[in-house]
Structure 1
Amino acid sequence: MMRRIIVPLAAGTIFGAGLTVGGMTDPARVRGFLDLFGDWDPTLAFVMGGAVLVMALAWMMQRRMQRPVFAERFSLPDRNDLTPRLVGGSALFGIGWGIAGLCPGPGFAALAIAPGSAAIFVAAMLAGMLVVRLMEGHG
């Protein structure tokens, strides 16, 4: 039972710390990456490249494992998971990320650094999530 709480909490803490160290809790840095024809900031490209390398290693390790360390079985995506809802949600995510300069992970991590502006983002994000749940009849 304790592992079900500790492992995700530790992973989330490490993820948030990495985003903070990488400067991804600074909306100006993200918007600077998206400004291809102005004062372009490549920092996000390096953060994404690091994430791709880590994920490539994780996929290689997963292929050699019988089962996950902290679960009964692997839960991996496949092409059936690619739905119009996912594509639409991804588009909305990208638009919101470009406008706000934050996405959920860095938004929550930014609560510790710039609570005022981050709280506005997190509140709007949670309100949007609630609206979707209500529209889909899950609320």
Structure 2
Amino acid sequence: MTAPRLLAALASGLLFGLGLALSGMMDPHRVLGFLDLAGTWDPSLAFVLAGAVGVSALGTLAMTRMAQPILAPDFAVPTNRRVDARLLAGAALFGIGWGLAGFCPGPALAGLAIGLPEAGAFAAA
């Protein structure tokens, strides 16, 4: 990997982690509160998800107007649109882990980076 690509990846990861920290999404109680529809529901994750969809939409729009990416020879866009057993099993495992622990892989990695004990327990499991 070239130095500019490595720096862009590092900057993207840091920005993602900062966004998770500022939005409170590294707090498993906040995430579990979003999933607790019958109890004390916390809608803050819905706003974070809406913001993420908006940023993704802008990125997709920018991609459609570019001939090629700045730091790569071509765009790596998934072409498989099938819903198969592997996809469903992965989604189920993700959802079960998210519901039990309040972490998904992104916030867990960010939590590990800053030493959150809950993230360490998630990673060990």
TM-score norm. by structure 2 comes to 0.91
Amino acid at match of 2:70: V
- The residue number in structure 2 matching 1:58 is 59
SS of the residue corresponding to residue 21 of structure 2 reads helix
CA distance in 1, matches of 2:11, 2:57: 21
SS of the residue corresponding to residue 111 of structure 1 reads helix
Tell me by how many angstroms 1:30 deviates: 0.3
- The residue number in structure 1 matching 2:68 is 67
Tell me by how many angstroms 1:69 deviates: 1.2
Unaligned runs of 5+ in 2: none
CA distance in 2, matches of 1:5, 1:99: 34
Instruction: Indicate the larger mover: 47-56 or 4-13.
Output: 4-13
Amino acid at match of 1:74: F
- The residue number in structure 2 matching 1:95 is 96
TM-score norm. by structure 1 comes to 0.82
CA distance in 1, matches of 2:66, 2:27: 37
Question: Any residues of structure 2 matched to 1:13-92 within 5 Å, and which?
Answer: 13-80=14-81, 82-92=83-93
RMSD: 1.5
- Write out per-residue CA displacement over residues 80-101 of structure 1, whole angstroms, 9 at most, x where no aligned residue: 4643212211111011011100
- The residue number in structure 2 matching 1:129 is none
- Write out per-residue CA displacement over residues 24-49 of structure 1, whole angstroms, 9 at most, x where no aligned residue: 00000000000111100000000000
- The residue number in structure 1 matching 2:121 is 120
- The residue number in structure 1 matching 2:6 is 5
Tell me by how many angstroms 1:79 deviates: 3.6
Amino acid at match of 2:122: F
Amino acid at match of 2:40: D
- Write out per-residue CA displacement over residues 40-59 of structure 1, whole angstroms, 9 at most, x where no aligned residue: 00000000000000011111
Unaligned runs of 5+ in 1: 125-139
CA distance in 2, matches of 1:76, 1:82: 17
- Write out per-residue CA displacement over residues 95-125 of structure 1, whole angstroms, 9 at most, x where no aligned residue: 101110001111111124453221111222x
